[in-house]
Amino acid sequence: MLPILTGFVLVIIGLALMGYPLLNLLPKGTLAFRRGMPAILATRGLFFAAYASTQNFLVLALIDVKGITPSQAGLIVASAALSWCLIAYLQGRWDAADQGRGRHTRIVLGVLLLAIGIALVFWVPVVTVAVAVIGQIIAGIGIGLAHPISGVVAFSQTGNGDVGETSANLQFADSFTPGVVIGIGGSILVVCQAAGMSLQSGLIVTMGFHLLLIVTSLFASTRIRPAN
């Protein structure tokens, strides 16, 4: 029990130490989902982290819990990449058709579909190959909707002299948050197993963490329009 409690304390201390620099590094109000640019960055960081981390732990669940081969697990995850590419391609046509008026709606819809895709693979015991493929295709559609257009919306709210800063913030959201969330997910899994839970149960808890992140991102996505 003592190592588990120590681990939780260290995680809390680490998150606190990490949070303070972020307040100065990111636009003011990002962690509070302030309307406009801060909410865009929060939305993107959360949904991209939840997506990337889910992919990693889904492969583990498929191989070590469901017993399929690594090649089969890789093909299942690749189905998300295919639907992502297809929807990202169609984004240009839709954006031209509505002259950008539907961008905010597509981001919210994309995050909602991501939530559905993650929810389908959340309960590891009932995940079959078919369920995993369906969940991955839906998640791929979701991130194909939300990810490209969130960058466009971010730059549309950027002044001429702040393009470099916006680009850096978007890159930060795409690289920093997935690394942190994957690390936290791994810690959750280790703590669960140290507490005597099976790998399957630990993965359910970890997937639940991802689901919580994507629901939080969905809330943040409703605040991406600038305040009037």
Q: Is the pLDDT of residue 144 over 80?
A: yes
- Judge whether 198 lies within some domain: yes
Mean pLDDT of 154-159: 88
CATH at 191? 1.20.1250.20
Q: Mean pLDDT across the chain, nearest whole number?
A: 90
- Judge whether 106 lies within some domain: yes
Kindly indicate the confidence band of residue 31, based on its pLDDT and cuts at 50, 70 and 90: confident
Mean pLDDT of 213-226: 94
In terms of phi and psi (left: phi > 0; alpha: psi -120 to 50; beta: otherwise), the region of 99 is left
- Judge whether 88 lies within some domain: yes
Q: Is the pLDDT of residue 21 over 90?
A: no
What pLDDT score was predicted for residue 3?
60
> By three-state DSSP, how is residue 67 classified?
coil
- Judge whether 160 lies within some domain: yes
What pLDDT score was predicted for residue 24?
75
d(CA 184, CA 209): 9
Cα three-residue angle 140-179-197, rounded to 5 degrees: 85
- Judge whether 22 lies within some domain: no
- Judge whether 34 lies within some domain: no
Do residues 173 and 48 lie in contact, with contact meaning Cβ atoms separated by under 8 Å? yes
- Judge whether 25 lies within some domain: no
Q: Is the pLDDT of residue 226 over 70?
A: yes
What residue numbers bound the domain in which 64 lies? 48-221
Total number of domains constituting the chain: 1
- Judge whether 197 lies within some domain: yes
Lowest mean pLDDT segment, chosen from 15-19, 156-160, 197-201: 15-19
Q: Is the pLDDT of residue 75 over 70?
A: yes
Kindly indicate the confidence band of residue 4, based on its pLDDT and cuts at 50, 70 and 90: low
